[in-house]
Amino acid sequence: MLSLAMFEPDIPQNTGSMIRLCACMDTPLHIIEPCGFPLNNKLLHRAAMDYIDHVRLQRHISWQHFLDYKQIQKPSRLLLLSTHASSMYTEFSYQPGDILLLGRESAGVPDYVRDAADARLRIPVQSGVRSLNIVQAASMVLGEALRQTGSFVCAQVT
C-alpha cells in the first residue's frame, strides 16, 4: 500500500491538510519528528477537522526510528519529492509499497535523508517560482501513484 511521510514538518496547517488528504485517499501517513509545533496544535486540528479520526497515522520519534520501522514492516522504496530532483514524477513507475517522502516546508531535507531515498522526483513548475505547497505537491504525486497502481479508493455514487 502506498503511503506518505512528512519529515519534521514545521507548519501545522499543512500537516492538518495532509491528514485530510490521507484520510480521503485511504493512505497511511507517517510523521517523522521532531515537528516544529506540538501535535496537539489548534491550527493542525482546525485544518484536519474530524478527518484525523479516519487516517492511519504513525508517529516516529526520529529519522532512525522511521528507518527501523520501515525495515521491520516491509522493505519498501522511499521516494523523495524534491525541487532539486531531475526525474519527473510523471515518468516514474510506482509500486504499491512505495513511501512518498516530503521534507520540511522551510528547509526540505538534510543530505542524509536525501541520500537514503531510492529515487528523487520533482514536479515541474513555471520558471521564476520556487515550489508548490507541500500538500498540493503530495496530492499531485499521490494521485499519479494511485492511478498507476490501480489503488484509488472506489466510492459508490448514489
In the prediction, which pLDDT does 154 show? 66
Runs of H (alpha helix) within 5-101: 12-25, 42-48, 63-73
Q: What is the largest CA-CA distance in the chain?
A: 49
Which pLDDT value is given to residue 50?
A: 78
Q: How high is the mean pLDDT of the chain?
A: 90
Q: Using CA atoms, how far apart are residues 146 and 150, in angstroms rounded to an integer?
A: 6
Q: Give buried/exposed letters for 81-90 (b at 16+ CB in 10 A, else e).
A: bbeebeeebe
Confidence (pLDDT) at 143: 96
pLDDT at 41: 62
Mean pLDDT throughout 14-33?
94
Cα torsion at 32, 38, 43, 47 (round to 10°)?
30
- Per-residue pLDDT at 4 exceeds 80: yes
Can you give the pTM of this predicted structure?
Answer: 0.91
pLDDT value of position 37: 76
- Asked if 139 contacts 89 with a C-beta cutoff of 8 angstroms, the reply is no
Distance (Å, whole) CA 66 – CA 40: 21
Pick the more confident residue, 45 or 104.
104
Q: Catalogue all structural domains in the chain, each as residue range(s) with its CATH number.
A: 3-149 (3.40.1280.10)
The answer for residues whose C-beta is within 8 angstroms of residue 40's C-beta and 6 or more apart is: none
Query: In angstroms, how far is the first alpha carbon of the chain from the final one?
Result: 27
- Asked whether the predicted pLDDT for residue 157 surpasses 60, the reply is no
User: Which segment of 59-68, 75-84, 92-101 scores lowest on mean pLDDT?
Assistant: 75-84
The predicted-structure confidence for 45-68, as pLDDT tens digits, reads as follows 776 677 788 899 999 999 999 999
Torsions phi, psi of 3, nearest 5? Answer: -150, 165
DSSP 39: T
The pLDDT of residue 98 = 96
Residues 28-53 have a mean pLDDT of: 80
